[in-house]
Amino acid sequence: MSESAHPAPYHFERQARSLALFVVLLAWGLGLCLMWIIFQAAWFFLVLFALPLGPALWDLWRNPHSGLSIADGNFQWHHGGSENQLPLSEIEKLRLDRRWDFSFRATLILRNGQKLRLPQPALPKAEELENALSLIGIPSERHHFSVF
């Protein structure tokens, strides 16, 4: 087959442990300390505001990897311990829904009518994903701020 029949593979990967997560955790913890020392905040407020630290610290400790790749006629994605694979021939289109926090929710619409939601941590920027799929002939559609 010619080189144009098989476009260059696309690969995206990220890990939870990052400098940004560390800085946010440090700033949040310092904020809690300031609330306690300067404002003498009640212990139940400190506990309430410390609750978001739990999942973030767990991600920092475990460092789960997430990502997706498009190669060899397959669309593969993984997040945490879960790995999935789908032949490209089964994908009809990609649907991108803008959420209220301005991120995108990506759904693969299959030729048989089923919908597969892709996990958020495994997604690259929406434009990158659209470009990678358009190179292999899979269209995408965007929907902005749908309530339901």
- pLDDT recorded at residue 6: 55
Examine the pLDDT at 2 and tell me if it is beyond 70.
no
List the domain boundaries for the chain: 19-62, 65-143
Average model confidence (pLDDT) across the chain: 90
pLDDT class for 1, splitting at 50, 70, 90? very low
CA dihedral 100, 104, 105, 107 (to 10 degrees): 140
**Pairwise pLDDT comparison (16 vs 112), residue with the higher score:** 112
Query: Could you tell me which residues come within 8 angstroms of residue 137 by beta carbon, excluding any fewer than 6 positions away?
Result: none
Examine the pLDDT at 147 and tell me if it is beyond 80.
no
Give tens-digit pLDDT for 78-94.
998 899 999 999 999 99
Q: Which two tokens stand for residue 27?
A: 């700033």
Residue 126: φ, ψ to 5°: -55, -40
Examine the pLDDT at 133 and tell me if it is beyond 80.
yes
Examine the pLDDT at 7 and tell me if it is beyond 80.
no
- pLDDT recorded at residue 10: 93
Kindly tell me the burial class for residue 76, based on how many C-beta atoms sit within 10 Å of its own C-beta (0-12, 13-18, 19 or more): middle
Give tens-digit pLDDT for 13-46.
999 899 999 999 999 999 999 999 999 999 999 9
Q: Which fold has domain 65-143?
A: PH-domain like (2.30.29)
Q: What is the pTM of this model?
A: 0.76
